[in-house]
Amino acid sequence: MFKNLSVQRKTLRGCIIFNIEESHPGVFAQRTPERPSIIIGETGEFLNFAEFEAISNQVAHLFRGLGLRRGDRIAIFLENHIFYMPIVWGAFRCGLRVVTVATHLTTEDVDFILEDSNSAALLTSLFMKSTLENLRMTTVVQQNRFILDGQYSDFRSFEQAIHQMPISPVEDQSEGVEMLYSSGTTGRPKGIMKKLPDGPFGIPAPGYKLIADIYNLDEKTVYLSPAPQYHAAPLLFVMRALRFGATVVIMRRFDAEQALALIERYKVTHSQWVPTMFIRMLRLPDEVKRQYDYSSLKCVIHAAAPCPVEIKLQMIKWWGEIIWEYYGASEGNGLTVIDSKEWLRHQGSVGRARIGKVRICGEDGEELPKGETGLIYFSDNPVFEYHNDLQKTKDSRNQYGWSTLGDIGYLNEEDYLYLTDRKANTIISGGVNIYPQEIENHLISHPEVKDVAVIGVPNSEFGEEVKAVVIPKDISLNNVDLEKELIDFCNLKVGKIKSPRTVDFVENLPRQENGKLYKRLLRDRYWKNKV
């Protein structure tokens, strides 16, 4: 498919001298060219570091040949493909902004992102054919549309396009940056615009180096990524792992038992998960869990959504005190981190700040005392803005310039942060603020609950009332009895005022693969006829 990779390896070994401070796949292509960089876990398909470096350089030359320059945008609309990360890295070498488009989006949302970001090129695959059929792609000229794994319409073959490109780096390498779009759980996706790095290519930014140091990412790391690469956390952690020489095992799609098998097969040392993945693995039969060896694991990271305390306790009991948690977002405006030992002393916390300073503020933007619940802000932090949305950018700041993502929480006396919920999810019933996350965390611990979402629905007297929408473990059970059991279960723990008044049972919830719920879609079912 590609030019003689044996020649590529020889060339890459012999002609490039790197600065001692540099850290990127090219360094490891010379140091350990035959070592795997990317492995598709289910199939065993892989690229070694020499191949990864060669392909990413070819991609960079392709973009330069299209006339793309530093600060331009390209869009990647791909499943978890073996070439996903070489394409990302090739774009980063050119100082481009990389727009990763979620594969589950509607045609309308994909077109919106392409147009809103003003993406000059689109890279996709035959896997996305059904969505491609109706795309307008008004910003992407025909010659800049590329398809992987075959031929489609007027798209150019990606493989053929890079085949004749040089394997050496482009002359004007500079660091690019991701341009991620929010999930769109409360409306149209919003692009997050970050500043392009100023330093020379290959020198890790302070934030990258901090993450590598916290989790000990290096050449001995085998990192398992079970989530879609278009999401912020999987994308950025895989980028960081590759930058520091780790081997990355990517799952095409998460499956609980398959994930355990891959840990054993590849002797995985590091991995990142979301709480729903923990729950699915924990609920595997004990005889299945006992089949696999997890002794290679050294660092297990989770984020994206708050993890119920009971679930995390079970994971620590199962895998040991190797579980880390962080709180951060695509905006990159702050970061908190906590390890297992700290967490066991501060159960439910997402840690203390490692990037920025946490501030808890009231509706007036003024800082609240320790222990009081309010909006979570970060100060002393990296700057971001929402692309083409000055109002949203303005609304994310208070009068001091501190930024918020709309999450609610509090700090204890030792500055450990506790998340309560998102502001948009707060239920106001009879003037009382009720945070669904607390109720969801309790309900998911019930043995008959497979998944759950708690929302506010119309109530003529109180404005809103609490409703639980549950996927039961066994859909054939007597739902009337189970509804009463779950309400009583909540009454004992969270109190009657916070407990669901009613429970609806469903076969599925609109949950993303990164664990986040499209609560807007659930609420719309109950509010659509409400004037």
Mean pLDDT of 340-351: 97
User: Is residue 133 one of the residues assigned to a domain?
Assistant: yes
Lowest mean pLDDT among 5-14, 99-108, 347-356, 492-501: 5-14
In 3D, which of 284, 285, 351, 275 has the Cα closest to residue 313? 275
What percent of the chain is predicted at pLDDT more than 70?
95
Tell me how many domains the chain contains.
2
Q: What is the pLDDT of residues 59-95, one digit of tens each?
A: 999 999 999 999 999 999 999 999 999 999 999 999 9
Pick the last residue of a domain from 166, 201, 236. 201
User: Is residue 415 one of the residues assigned to a domain?
Assistant: no
pLDDT at position 529, please? 62
Residue 94 structural domain: 5-35+44-201
pLDDT at position 69, please? 96
pLDDT band at residue 104, thresholds of 50, 70 and 90? confident
pLDDT exceeds 50 at position 7: no
pLDDT exceeds 70 at position 26: yes
Pick the last residue of a domain from 201, 235, 254. 201
pLDDT at position 487, please? 96
* The token pair that represents 214 in the structure block: 């916290």
pLDDT at position 5, please? 40
Instruction: Give helix 275-282 / helix 256-266 axis angle, nearest 10°.
Output: 90
Average predicted confidence (pLDDT) for the chain: 91
pLDDT exceeds 90 at position 234: yes
The Cα–Cα gap between 222 and 219 comes to: 8
The Cα–Cα gap between 240 and 348 comes to: 27
The CA-based dihedral angle spanning residues 56, 237, 73, 108, taken in that order and rounded to the nearest 10 degrees: 120
pLDDT at position 6, please? 38
pLDDT band at residue 3, thresholds of 50, 70 and 90? very low
SS (H, E, C) 362-392: CCCCCECCCCCCEEEEEECCCCEEECCCHHH
User: Is residue 255 one of the residues assigned to a domain?
Assistant: no
pLDDT exceeds 90 at position 459: no
pLDDT exceeds 80 at position 112: yes
State the CATH number of the domain containing residue 190: 3.40.50.980
DSSP states of 128-141 as a string? GHHHHTT---TTS-
- Whole-prediction pTM: 0.87
User: Is residue 230 one of the residues assigned to a domain?
Assistant: no
- Beta-bridge partners for 148: 125
The Cα–Cα gap between 246 and 244 comes to: 6
pLDDT at position 354, please? 96
pLDDT exceeds 90 at position 173: yes
The CA-atom distances, in angstroms, between 428 and each of 361, 409, 432, 531 are: 19, 17, 5, 18
pLDDT band at residue 475, thresholds of 50, 70 and 90? confident
Mean pLDDT of 344-364: 96
Q: What is the pLDDT of residues 279-334, one digit of tens each?
A: 999 999 999 999 999 999 999 999 877 788 999 999 999 999 999 999 998 898 99
pLDDT at position 461, please? 80
State the CATH number of the domain containing residue 490: 3.30.300.30
Lowest mean pLDDT among 102-111, 184-193, 230-239, 368-377: 184-193
User: Is residue 347 one of the residues assigned to a domain?
Assistant: no
Pick the last residue of a domain from 164, 182, 201. 201
Q: What is the pLDDT of residues 402-445, one digit of tens each?
A: 999 999 999 999 999 999 888 888 898 887 889 899 999 999 99
Through-space distance between the first and last CA atoms of the chain, rounded to whole angstroms: 60
* The token pair that represents 370 in the structure block: 């320790």
User: Is residue 14 one of the residues assigned to a domain?
Assistant: yes
pLDDT at position 523, please? 86
3 state DSSP class of 405: strand
DSSP states of 159-209 as a string? HHHHHTS-SSPPTT-B--EE--B---TTSS--BEEEPPP-SBTT---HHHH
Mean pLDDT of 460-474: 90
Using only C-alpha atoms, the chain has a radius of gyration, in whole angstroms, of 24
Other C-beta atoms within 10 Å of 12: how many? 23
User: Is residue 140 one of the residues assigned to a domain?
Assistant: yes
Contact in structure between 49 and 29 (CB atoms under 8 Å)? yes
pLDDT exceeds 70 at position 185: no
User: Is residue 305 one of the residues assigned to a domain?
Assistant: no
